[in-house]
Structure 1
Amino acid sequence: MLFRRKILLTLLLAVLSLVLVFGTATAGSKPIKIAFVPKLVGIPYFNAMEEGGKQAAKDLGVEFIYTGPVTADPTKQVEIIDNLITRGVDAIAVAPNDPTSIAPILKKARDKGIVVMTSDTDAPDSVRQVFVNQALQDQIGYSMMDVLAEDMGYEGEFAIVSCGPTAWNLNTWIMYEQQRLAKYPKMKLVTIRYAEEDIQLAISVTLDILTAFPKIKGIIGQCSTSAPGVAEAVRQAGKSGKVVATGISTPSLMREYVKDGTVKRFLLWNPVDLGYLTVWAAKQLVEGKGFAPVNNVPKIGKVEYREKDKMLVLGPPFVFDKSNIDKFNF
């Protein structure tokens, strides 16, 4: 009897050990949860970032959560991040509409032990641990001004139609465009207007500019929604080929205007890669790995890390035109 009890006790202990080992393994295999909050959902640019994030999640074995406001609303972004904190995600990346208003909620997330990052646009005075940057700000601003200047023949009046007036990335690009303007003394910036993240509003604002400044020779659409709005307004006004329409946007939104000659050239980078890089960077930080000066990122290649700025840089901006636009589907 005693011998049988010993055998039963031994078997029971063995079963309990297996349960504990299995339970620990199951808990340890729980995927890392990485959330990305864009400026707004439902536009091609951030749809492309979502696509890249999903692919990275599949490749890297993490869970990707994509959620954001339906309009470029800083208050809604804060509410969404607060909800993600409650859900207990491991990392939150955000493209802030307003870098000032987003800072306190990022601190709250960081205090909870959540990795916090910015991507696409920065909140440099926040506690974010890295900024995943599409390209260096001066490169974008200088390249945009160089493209506009060349297409305008290096002289004449021009305007800028931006999106949100508090967007750090857009304001920084405009600053560098104005800095670069010193290289072109025969050109004059006559106005900067804002159209939020709304193509229809950008059309209306641009039509107003064309009326108010009849001598205008060029207009920059500073973001992915204002650039096609500028192009559409120039076409509606019968100014295609007379007023240079350019800017920063996606091939899917600019293709028809490039094809019909309203837009000769415009700038961007690959937002799919930017989304991929964002998820890869979040996983690195969650796992405590950090970044090397040059990182070999799967499916992207070499990505520079600037430690002083805590910034990963995807690469230089790319110029799209008739010769290459059909090679891209985002």
Structure 2
Amino acid sequence: MAHRSLKRLSALFVTSLLVTMLLVACGPSEASSTNDGGKKVIAFVPKIINISYFNAMKAGGEAAAKDLGVTFEYQGPTTADANEQVKIIKQLIAKHVDAIAVAPDDPAVVGPALKEAEAQGIKVFTTDTDAPNSVRSVFVNQALTSEIGNATMDTLAKAMGEEGEWAIVSCSPAAQNLNEWIKIEQARATEKYPKLKFVTTVYSGEDIAKAVSDTKDLITSHPNLKGIIGQCTTSAPGVAKAITDMHKNGSVFATGIGLPSDMKPYIENGASKGFVLWDPSKLGYLTVWAGLQLVNGKNFSEKNEVSNVGTVTYDAAQKMLVLGPPLVFDKDNINKYNF
């Protein structure tokens, strides 16, 4: 009996020792801020996943991660919802990633979560959409607000012959970047195109089907409507599809912020004469590059040469990196792009 008891005690001691060694080897969870052999982890929380625009940003981020030797973590909500973004940010805080980039659906809602992440030593910044009153270290901007708004308004006015009624189909009513573009567009129309008459703005979320439905309602309720801006990459093709479905090609024109892959059919059928964008894959690449710069404690220069992106300017006063000027896509150049 004594022999058996001694064997039991020995087994318990060995088991306890192994557990202790395992715990020491693993260390506390708080210490694990990197993975994949010690690589830095740069996370990105888009407004919504599974849409073409953010898929392109994801692809650019993955390419940058491979080139720069970091881990890229991409997590976002399946519907545009700032509260869901907050939940994801908190999950990333718990995982102790090194940097978190966010395209906030609502800056006011996301701001406190960014502050919480910063308090844990995580570098936080925005990309695609800003939260200027938050603790973000830098905003990775696709292009200057004035350049985007002016280009969009000019493109619409040209299609409309610089006269007639126009409207906007936007996405989230709280999206800081979209609201800034709308202000610029309206000011541009007032200043440069006196024969244009603004009608209204409606909000369709990040939902193409709703943008189609809302646009059809707009055209029906405003029979003199001649032009519509789709303010984001889901509403622009939605607007163009509604025009096509209602056989208004050539009498009502769509423009806005769109992807060539989504808008090409509508350029070809005349529902759109042109639209505005930049290369979202390069924006994704720049986002990961910027995150690594922050994690490594490196300052941004007035002009930064970024591999696979080009020359990127930095506005120190606004703490903003700018990818470059927007591009107008039309029938003459749309076949040159495959995103």
Pairwise same-fold verdict (TM > 0.5):
yes
Q: Counterpart amino acid of 2:315?
A: R
Size of the alignment, in residue pairs?
A: 305
Is 1:222–2:208 an aligned residue pair? no
Q: Secondary structure at the match of 2:97?
A: coil
**What TM-score, normalized to structure 1?**
0.91
1:30 to 9, 32, 38: 38
Shift of 1:29: 6.0
1:327 shift after superposition:
1.5
Output the CA distance in 2 between the equivalents of 1:269 and 1:27: 32
2:35 touches 2:41 (CA, 8 Å); kept in 1?
no
Q: 1:90 aligns with which of 94, 98, 102?
A: 98
Once residues 211 and 36 of structure 2 are traced to their aligned partners in structure 1, the CA distance between those partners, rounded to angstroms, is 49
How do 1:282-301 residues align onto structure 2 when only pairs under 5 Å count? Answer: 282-301=291-310
**Structure 1 residue 327 corresponds to structure 2 residue 332:** no
Query: Are positions 1:128 and 2:136 aligned together?
Result: yes
Kept in 1: contact 2:36–2:71 (CA 8 A): no
Deviation of 1:27 (Å): 9.7
Shift of 1:28: 12
Q: Separation in 1 of the partners of 2:111 and 2:224?
A: 42
Residue in 2 aligned with 1:14? none
What is the SS of the residue equivalent to 1:218? strand
What does residue 75 of structure 1 align with? 83
Amino acid at match of 1:54: E
Where 2:291 maps in the other structure, the secondary structure is: helix
User: How far apart, CA to CA, are the structure 2 residues paired with 1:28 and 1:271?
Assistant: 26
Assess, with a 3 A threshold, how the Cα gap between structure 1 residues 28 and 318 changes in structure 2: closer, same or farther. Answer: closer
Cα deviation for residue 70 of structure 1 reads 0.1
- What TM-score, normalized to structure 2? 0.89
1:186 and 2:186 correspond: no
Contact 2:143 2:322 in 1 (8 A): yes
Which runs of structure 2 are paired with 1:93-132 in the superposition (5 Å)? 93-132=101-140
Give the percent of matched residue pairs that are identical in Structure 1 and Structure 2. Answer: 59
1:80-106 Cα shifts (integer Å, max 9, x gaps): 000000001000000000000111000
Is contact 2:35–2:71 with CA below 8 Å preserved after alignment? Answer: no
Local SS of the residue matching 1:31: coil
Once residues 35 and 227 of structure 2 are traced to their aligned partners in structure 1, the CA distance between those partners, rounded to angstroms, is 58
The aligned counterpart of 2:180 is 172
Per-residue CA distance 1:157-191 (angstroms, 9 max, x = gap): 00000000000000000000011112111101101
Question: Per-residue displacement from partner, 1:289-320 (whole Å, max 9, x unpaired)?
Answer: 12000000011111000000000000001011
- List structure 1 segments (4+ residues) > 2 angstroms apart after TM superposition: 26-29
Does 2:227 match 1:232?
A: no
Instruction: Give the alignment partner of residue 153 of structure 2, picking from 142, 145, 151.
Output: 145
RMSD between aligned residues: 1.3
1:61 corresponds to which residue? 69
- Counterpart Cα distance in 2 of 1:122 and 1:261: 34
Unpaired segments of 5 or more residues in structure 1? 1-25
Deviations 1:10-58 (Å, cap 9, x if unpaired)? xxxxxxxxxxxxxxxx999610000000000000000000000000000
Counterpart secondary structure, 2:263: helix
**Match for residue 262 of structure 2 among 253, 261, 270:** 253
- Report how far residue 252 of structure 1 moved: 1.1
Q: Distance in 2 between matches of 1:179 and 1:245?
A: 19
Secondary structure of the residue aligned to 2:284 is helix
Q: Which one of 276, 281, 287 corresponds to residue 278 of structure 1?
A: 287
